[in-house]
Structure 1
Amino acid sequence: MMAISSPQYVWTLFTKPLIADLGTTLPDLQVTFSILIVLQTWLSPAQGALVERFGPRLLVAVGCALSAASWILTAYATSLAAVYFTYGVLAGVGTGIVYIGIIGQMVKWFPDKRGFATGMAAAGYGFGAIFMNFPVSASLTTSGLQHTLIVFGLLQGIVGVGAALFLKAAPTHGAAARPEPAVAGLRTRRDFTSREMLKQPVFWLMFAMMTMMSTGGLMVISQFATFSRSFGIDEKVLVLGFAALPLALTIDRITNGLTRPIFGHISDRIGREKTMAIAFIGEGLAIAALVAVREDPLLYVLMSGVVFFGWGEIFSLFPSTLTDTFGETHASKNYGFLYMAQGVGSVLGGPIAALIFSQTGSWMPVFGIIIVMDVLTGLLALFALAPMRRRLIGSAVEAEPALVTRPA
């Protein structure tokens, strides 16, 4: 997970040199990021089914290799279309295989600590770019774009493929033999197939909620360097003796990694929906605060970390909530369908957000929309998702009394 995080999280550092090399515009270039996320997410149901059928070791190794190849080949790209394919398509397919393969295994390996376990695995995806921000930023300055992509692409490929060879598939138990969960909130002991899950309104509510949260988070990730520079926060501004922009990105990766196991653990204790409300509404407030302190470099850098702390937890809360609701036997494939919401969010948070900025000349309308969506999603968790999950699990109990589901 650490080895395949940089194509997404370090992308913002590549936008400026790529725009200069290709002679393109920001909205056109940001299509690359959307292609990456769309393919990473929209192919995940098929990728999850392949992992369930053939096991994670081979497929995850192939995914890591594709992700590394995307950087190496982008170094030789001479057109925007080539970058769409090398950075967008190859990285999207490769990272998607790895991500869905790992998360699909974690929800099965640790059913009683599902939120914390998926949070720890997803933290690898958040933490991975910590080790890349300063080196990549420095390499871009001293050695240029091509050298940076080749060297760090090779490094990530070696680490990722090597780690994948140690993976072991999680055991899957039948629903009737599954132990009673020791976590807060309702959890089903019925295993829904993907077709059955897609017929349930509660799935589509989760899909809409994850789309809204992904939109805000991916806008910040993909555009962070761009809107920070428009606020006067760039590599030339120093904070605590460090260049402000790479320092902010490094802090962001730390908090983006920490939030996943922390909120996952909290959700194991107090329930998924309550945790979602706290995190999502808090994220909206954090973004409002980020905009308010944009003229103070120190506060801006610190608040950017709070913003990422309020977003990254979606990657522990949503997969654990989905598996709690629809069972673990088909967890990889089922989460693949929910993970597609990230792809929708990438389109809204990438080129659409950049287009709004180019049309209005300001990032304020974009931030305003995101704040509203974050707060709305937190309220939906409490007042819509919680009762809908309760009704679905209750109806499953009435239909199949042998498969008892009750609060811990």
Structure 2
Amino acid sequence: MNDWNDLKKKRWLFLFLFCAINFCTGALYIWSVFAGPLAVRLNELSGNSFTASDLGQVFGLAAGVTPFLMLAGGFINDRLGPKLVVIAGGVMIGLGYIICGFSSSLNMLYIGYGLCVGIGTGMVNGCTINSAVKFFPDKKGFAGGLVTASLGIGAALLPFAINGLIEVSGISSTCLYFGIFSGIFIPVCAAFTDKCPEHFADSFAALSSGSKCTGIETNWVGMLKSPLFIPLFALFITGSTMGL
């Protein structure tokens, strides 16, 4: 019981760390801040005439691979916990931005931002959101919503810092600095997290005042067969497309 009480207190630290990690990964969605200066850099190095819109496919690749890695990250998180997966994802993100800083061709941007940052962000987001919900079975909406909101807050606030850094140091150094920061900050935060015990939620159920959960427990196959899946999926796709 003491271990459960300790973990119940420690879960708030985990939630804070998950939010801090997701705040950092919000940089994936500020591609427009990087695109213009990177296009100028590529033109100077290669003699091409790229515009920011010409680099839009790079973000498309990153946004395209992220959801698949979120699924994979959540799957692995259920078995290993968030620590190793988030550390690996953070290293991938950091490496991706560093590659962008040294990029001399469009293909390097595809590899750095499109693949490394996209894959790393998917791994990190899948684990942090998944773990937050597991640690807060009594506040699932609050925990999952707060961690997800941190991603959006990062996307809203990071452009100010990135733009300022670009003006002072240039796009190459900015990508390098942000890559080093992300590659260190995310793994360090992840190192202080842990896997949610398998029966952690049962303790909350045991302490409840005899009320029964009316929700339906099912696997992903049952989710796909549910009549609620298609309308919810359509709403999600519509909202995500409009936002991106």
With structure 1 as the length reference, what TM-score do the two structures score? 0.48
Matched AA of 1:212:
T
Contact kept, 8 Å, 2:137 with 2:204, in 1: the verdict is no
Which of these residues, 100, 104, 115, is aligned with residue 130 of structure 2? 104
> Alpha-carbon deviation of 1:55?
1.4
Summarize the Cα distance change of 1:174–1:161 in structure 2 as closer, same or farther, 3 Å threshold.
closer
* Aligned residue pairs, count: 214
Contact 1:176 1:189 in 2 (8 A): no
**Percent identity of paired positions between Structure 1 and Structure 2:** 32
Partners of 2:201 and 2:224 in 1: CA distance: 20
Contact preservation (8 Å) 1:19, 1:26: yes
Runs of 4+ in 1 over 3 A off after TM superposition: 25-28, 127-132, 172-178, 186-190
* 1:18 partner amino acid: L
The amino acid across from 2:154 in the alignment is: G
Deviation at 1:128, TM superposition (A): 3.2
Equivalent runs, 1:193-342 vs 2, <5 Å:
193-218=219-244
> Who is 2:8 aligned against?
none
Whether the 8 Å CA contact 1:56–1:102 is kept in 2: the answer is yes
1:11 to partner: Cα distance = 1.7
* Deviation (angstroms), 1:180: 8.8
CA distance in 1, matches of 2:178, 2:201: 44
Q: What CA distance in whole angstroms lies between the structure 2 residues aligned with 1:6 and 1:60?
A: 16
- Are 1:74 and 1:149, in contact at CA under 8 Å, matched by a contact in 2? yes
| Residue 6, structure 1, aligned to residue 6, structure 2 | no
Find the counterpart in structure 2 of residue 136 from structure 1: 162
Residue 20 (1) aligns with residue 40 (2): yes
Amino acid across the alignment from 2:36: K
Deviations 1:226-258 (A, max 9, x none): xxxxxxxxxxxxxxxxxxxxxxxxxxxxxxxxx
Distance 1:113 1:84 in 2: 39
Aligned AA for 1:13? Answer: V
Aligned match of 1:73: 99
Contact (CA 8 Å) 1:56, 1:101: kept in 2 or not?
A: yes
- Kept in 1, the 8 Å contact 2:138–2:204? The answer is no
Distance verdict in 2 for CA 1:135–1:72, change over 3 Å: same
Which AA in structure 1 matches 2:106? L
Give the Å deviation of 1:26.
Answer: 4.0
In structure 1, the gaps of 5 or more residues are 219-408
Contact 1:3 1:157 in 2 (8 A): no
Q: Secondary structure at the residue paired with 2:138? A: helix
Structure-1 separation of matches of 2:120 and 2:193: 17
For structure 2, which runs of at least 5 residues remain unmatched after alignment?
Answer: 1-21, 43-48
Counterpart CA distance in 2 for 1:181 and 1:207 is 34
Query: How many Å separate the matches in 2 of 1:149 and 1:13?
Result: 11
Q: Which moved more, 1:53-62 or 1:130-139?
A: 130-139
